[in-house]
């Protein structure tokens, strides 16, 4: 009687193990198919909805951004980004500066970054962008050029739409520029004392995957 119970229990355990293994295999197969489908569309190109800020009256930022992303693996990607903007006050006190520049700065840069996904679609991106900065006086005459190294840590979440062909990435960024060279004297007087970092900058990127 005991042997019969042991034998029955062994058969049950073997059957359960077999069924459980098949379920896991099917799950792994589904995940593999999803990952394969995602990696079939390794490329994406996009920009930022903050382009709409160019419609503002007064002194628009003339902000333009174009990025290209290549998916290395399911959780890892590299990003190349071309960006330009115009600003009229120190970046460290942007939006709340006591004094404005006696003119403006036009910046042009191409950056390279690395994006990593953690839990679900939560991600972080680290990026370095060297900028060529052109200084213009109040009469819109170019007076000097300088260089800036702009470092950024961005944390955000990806929202996939339209069958995962498009996605939005609301985010917050932490910016730091350790190199900022060749300021004209009149600009430097305004820049001195302003921090060389800007924290909690909101972002809203969008991209098309192909």
Give the predicted TM-score (pTM) of the model: 0.79
Q: Is the pLDDT of residue 4 over 50?
A: no
Mean pLDDT throughout 31-58? Answer: 79
Proportion of the chain above pLDDT 70, given as a percent: 82
Beta bridge partners of 59: none
- Helix (H) or strand (E) holding 73, with range, is strand 64-73
Both tokens assigned to 139: 């009469």
Q: Classify residue 156 as exposed, middle or buried by CB count within 10 Å of its CB (0-12, 13-18, 19+).
A: buried
pLDDT digits (tens, 9 = 90+) for 18-43: 444 454 445 444 444 445 555 788 99
Identify the pLDDT of residue 24: 43
Mean pLDDT throughout 109-115? Answer: 98
Identify the pLDDT of residue 56: 82
Identify the pLDDT of residue 19: 45
Residue 59: band (very low, low, confident or very high) from pLDDT cuts 50, 70, 90: confident
pLDDT digits (tens, 9 = 90+) for 134-186: 999 999 999 999 999 999 999 999 999 998 899 999 999 999 999 999 999 99
Q: Is the pLDDT of residue 5 over 60?
A: no
Q: What is the largest CA-CA distance in the chain?
A: 103
Residue 52: band (very low, low, confident or very high) from pLDDT cuts 50, 70, 90: very high
The Cα–Cα gap between 24 and 108 comes to: 51
């Amino acid at each position: 009687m005991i042997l019969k119970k042991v034998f029955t229990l062994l058969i049950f355990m073997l059957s359960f193990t077999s069924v459980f293994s098949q379920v896991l295999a099917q799950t792994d197969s589904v995940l593999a198919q999803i990952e394969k489908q995602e990696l079939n569309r390794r490329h994406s190109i996009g920009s930022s909805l903050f382009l709409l800020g160019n419609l503002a009256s007064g002194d628009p930022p003339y902000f333009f951004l174009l990025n290209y992303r290549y998916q290395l693996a399911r959780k890892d990607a590299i990003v190349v980004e071309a960006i330009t903007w115009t600003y009229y006050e120190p970046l460290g006190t942007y939006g709340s500066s006591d004094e404005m520049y006696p003119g403006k700065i036009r910046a042009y840069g191409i950056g390279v970054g690395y994006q990593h996904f953690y839990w679900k679609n939560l991600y972080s991106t680290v990026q370095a962008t060297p900028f060529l900065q052109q200084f213009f006086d109040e009469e819109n005459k170019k007076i000097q050029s300088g260089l800036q190294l702009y470092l950024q840590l961005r944390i955000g979440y990806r929202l996939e739409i339209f069958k995962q062909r498009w996605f939005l990435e609301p985010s917050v960024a932490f910016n730091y520029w350790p190199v900022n060279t060749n300021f004209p004297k009149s600009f430097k007087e305004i820049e001195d004392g302003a921090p060389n970092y800007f924290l909690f900058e909101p972002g809203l990127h969008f991209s098309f995957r192909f």
